[in-house]
Amino acid sequence: MNLIKRQNPVFTSLIDDLFINQDWNHISTTVPAANIIEADDHFNIELAAPGKKKSDFKIELEEGVLTISSETETKSTEKDGSFTRKEFGYSSFKRSFNIPETVAADKIVASYKEGILTVSLPKKAEALPQPKQLISIK
């Protein structure tokens, strides 16, 4: 029977701190939150994507599926004496939404303001609410 408790070497925790517990490649795969709003004449899809530029987004519509994606890469170099450290980051996301047939696909527009990407999907004229009709009795 062994009465001595096994102890982990000290350098194991250092290796864990240096390699396992660090996010060395800075890859972000978070998916932005989305709000879907329906009005009488259109739908709005809002995505929270702060810190991006309009050119970072790609919006596609294919076979009734609207896909919003983004890929960004950042690079930086720090020099301290003879030591150089280079770091880079990469973030991407892809969201897809099924678009109803009542949407006028040729009139979809998008805007990006204050960290919110808004995609406006207007409804076709036949999908808009119709006013009440008065039917006369003969």
- Would 113 be classed as within a structural domain? yes
- Would 87 be classed as within a structural domain? yes
Model-level pTM?
0.65
Residue 115: CB atoms within 10 Å: 12
Instruction: Output DSSP code: residue 123.
Output: B
- Would 38 be classed as within a structural domain? yes
Query: Can you give the length of the chain in residues?
Result: 138
- Quick check: 65 and 98 in contact, CB under 8 A? yes
Residue-number span of the structural domain to which 80 is assigned: 25-126
- Quick check: 32 and 102 in contact, CB under 8 A? no
- Would 83 be classed as within a structural domain? yes
- Would 134 be classed as within a structural domain? no
How much is the CA Rg of the chain, to the nearest whole Å? 26
pLDDT per 10-residue tile (average), the chain, 138 residues: 46 47 50 91 93 92 93 72 68 90 93 95 83 84
- Would 37 be classed as within a structural domain? yes
**CATH number, domain with residue 61:** 2.60.40.790
Structural domains of the chain, count: 1
- Would 10 be classed as within a structural domain? no
